[in-house]
């Protein structure tokens, strides 16, 4: 499509060039509706993906409508055509986005059978994914592909065989003296980050101090460990899967030293030095 044609096609969907980012979510909604109704787990996952992806107000309204009422065949077909055009060499996205759509579609289908991808995919949803893959020119059987950020490991990957192992990276760790440390142990040894006043943010995003990669249970900004008035605390940053301290999920709590902090499959130890 030429730019003018693309604008008209978006207009036909009730979208502008700013709200096009809702379109990759349309196939996910299509899969969720494939068996006649959207399960709560599917809805939750789609909304979580939308939050991570980032939508403007108009795009959010489109998603709300699609989740409330099944998109028409005409809307689905037109949306796929526009999405393909947007991922062309002249569009604002790349072809990898189409792989992402299929990966997320698998997650949504599996979510109906369990918590965030732990479950089976119905035949109706499998057929829907096949049709979407055919329309977008993507092999729907890929074991895993990257998400909208490269630290995300799709939950539908086959027992981790094809994807990378979970990684922990100490990124913007302050070089300062502190009364406490956050410690992670792995095959490479002991990794230590001092906990200073503003604290350490842990998550899978790029704007954190300690990054956990390829764990679908870890949110972009998952939790923070910080000091306030010579006391240390941990707070969950509204993560999806939660933060545990000594096996107990918490919203926030004081840390006294010796606690085990768990995010997804990764554990840290809180060390109080005085």
| C-alpha span between 118 and 95 (Å, rounded) | 28
Do 90 and 5 touch, CB atoms closer than 8 A? no
Query: SS3 of 105, please?
Result: helix
User: Closest Cα to residue 201, out of 224, 175, 169, 218?
Assistant: 224
| C-alpha span between 3 and 9 (Å, rounded) | 10
Q: What does the DSSP assignment read for 228-254?
A: ETTEEEEEE-S-SS-EEETTEEESEEE
| C-alpha span between 21 and 93 (Å, rounded) | 9
* pLDDT at position 50: 85
Instruction: Point out which residues pair with 249 in neighbouring strands.
Output: 244
Q: Which residues contact 254 (CB under 8 A, 6 or more apart)?
A: 231, 232, 233
User: Closest Cα to residue 139, out of 105, 163, 112, 92?
Assistant: 105
* pLDDT at position 135: 73
Q: Which DSSP helix (H) or strand (E) runs through 63?
A: helix 57-68
The pTM of this model reads 0.49
What end-to-end distance do the CA atoms of the chain give, in Å? 65
* pLDDT at position 234: 95
* pLDDT at position 139: 56
Residues composing the chain: 274
Residue spans of the domains in the chain: they are: 3-136, 167-272
**Digitized pLDDT (tens) for each residue of the chain, 274 residues in all:** 677 888 888 888 888 777 788 888 888 898 888 888 888 888 888 888 888 777 788 888 889 999 999 888 888 888 888 888 877 655 555 566 777 787 778 778 777 654 344 445 566 766 777 777 777 776 554 433 333 344 544 444 444 444 568 889 988 776 777 899 999 998 888 999 999 877 999 998 888 999 998 887 888 889 999 999 889 999 999 887 889 999 999 999 999 999 999 999 999 999 998 7
* pLDDT at position 79: 87
- Give the domain 167-272 fold: Tumour Suppressor Smad4 (2.60.200)
| C-alpha span between 63 and 140 (Å, rounded) | 23
| C-alpha span between 133 and 140 (Å, rounded) | 5
* pLDDT at position 122: 64
* pLDDT at position 1: 63
């Amino acid at each position: 499509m030429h730019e003018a044609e693309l604008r008209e096609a978006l207009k036909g969907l009730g979208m502008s060039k700013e709200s096009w980012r809702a379109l990759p979510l349309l196939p996910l909604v299509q899969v969720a509706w494939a068996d006649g109704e959207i399960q709560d787990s599917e809805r939750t996952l789609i909304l979580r993906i939308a939050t991570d992806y980032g939508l403007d107000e108009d795009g959010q309204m489109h998603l709300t409508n699609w989740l409330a009422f099944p998109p028409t065949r005409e809307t689905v077909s037109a949306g796929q055509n526009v999405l393909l055009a947007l991922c062309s060499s002249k569009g604002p996205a790349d072809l990898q986005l189409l792989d992402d759509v299929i990966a997320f579609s698998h997650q949504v289908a599996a979510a109906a059978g369990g918590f965030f991808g732990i479950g089976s995919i119905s035949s109706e949803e499998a057929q829907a994914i096949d049709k979407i893959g055919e329309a977008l020119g993507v092999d729907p059987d890929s074991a895993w592909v990257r998400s909208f950020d490269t630290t995300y490991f799709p939950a539908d990957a086959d027992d981790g065989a094809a994807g990378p192992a979970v990684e922990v990276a100490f990124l913007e760790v302050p070089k300062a003296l502190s009364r406490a440390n956050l410690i992670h142990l792995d095959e490479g040894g002991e990794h230590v980050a001092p906990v200073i006043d503003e604290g350490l943010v842990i998550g899978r995003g790029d704007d954190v101090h300690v990054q956990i990669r390829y764990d679908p249970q870890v949110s972009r900004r998952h939790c923070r460990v910080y000091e306030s008035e010579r006391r240390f605390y941990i707070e969950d940053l509204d993560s999806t899967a939660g933060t545990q301290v000594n096996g107990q999920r918490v919203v926030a709590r004081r840390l006294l030293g010796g606690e085990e902090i768990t995010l997804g499959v990764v554990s840290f130890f809180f060390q109080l030095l005085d």
